[in-house]
Amino acid sequence: MKGVHKMAKGTLTDEQVEKEIARLTDSPLVKLARKEMRIKYKRRQHLYSLRNLEKRGRELQKAGITLEMLNGIEATIPDTEET
Q: What is the pLDDT of residue 1?
A: 46
Domain residue spans of the chain: 4-76
User: Is the model's pTM score more than 0.75?
Assistant: no
Q: How far, in Å, CA of 21 to CA of 15, rounded?
A: 10
Walk along the chain (83 residues) and give the pLDDT tens digit of each residue: 456 555 556 789 999 999 999 999 999 999 999 999 999 999 999 999 999 999 999 999 999 999 999 999 999 999 876 65
pLDDT of residue 79: 84
pLDDT for the residue 2: 55
